[in-house]
Amino acid sequence: MEQSPLLDLPVPPSPTTVQLLEALLFVAGEPVTVTELARALDLPPDAVEQALDALATTCAGRGVRLQRDADRVQMVSAPEAAAVIERFLGTPASSRLSTAALETLTIIAYRQPITRAQIEAIRGVDSSGVLRALLSRDLIAEGGRLETTGRPILYVTTAEFLRQFGLSGLDDLPPLDLPEARAS
């Protein structure tokens, strides 16, 4: 290792792209685009993507994870550490979702985009209150309108849904066989 002339201390080696990427994501505090990372690192986006893949692999068994939402990426704590983190920060345990909310959220996650009428056809009960609760928690969002009479709202899951459930994408959802929804 090279010596620093002023302090007679070893000069550390230059950081790798993965290390620099990890440092940028650590200080960002919010999701950033691959383009922003590429600009900061003065690298092409495909090189950043390769480094992100390497970082995700490195973080897989640790207390932090790489969370992706389309072109945005962020460092997040591992979902299995949530209870300890809440205790450490002194925050109250997050209120759990009701059975109805979990059921509705599951339907939306697996069938999105989906209308309220389609959700209710599967559940067999009114879901307007549950949908309002899921919208207020930013677990679902309006994803457009169905091109049919009345143009009903289409619901989709959000990046917050993925983050709270520790998923990197919808492909991480386990297989599930849901009944078919009638078109409405």
DSSP state for residue 3 in the 8-state scheme: B
Q: What is the pLDDT of residues 2-49, one digit of tens each?
A: 555 666 777 778 899 999 999 999 999 788 999 999 999 999 999 999
Residue with tokens 């925050």: 91
- Residues 6 or more apart whose CB falls under 8 angstroms from that of 148 comprise 183
DSSP 69: E
Q: Which helix (H) or strand (E) holds 35?
A: helix 34-41
Residues 171-181: what's their mean pLDDT? 75
Cβ-count burial of 52 within 10 angstroms (0-12 exposed, 13-18 middle, 19+ buried)? buried
What domains sit in the chain, N to C, each tagged with a CATH number? Answer: 1-93 (1.10.10.10), 99-172 (1.10.10.10)
Quick: pLDDT tens for 44-84: 999 999 999 999 999 888 899 888 877 889 888 887 887 78
Q: Supply the pTM of this predicted model.
A: 0.60
Q: How distant, in Å, are the alpha carbons of 13, 14, 16, 84 from that of 9?
A: 13, 15, 21, 39
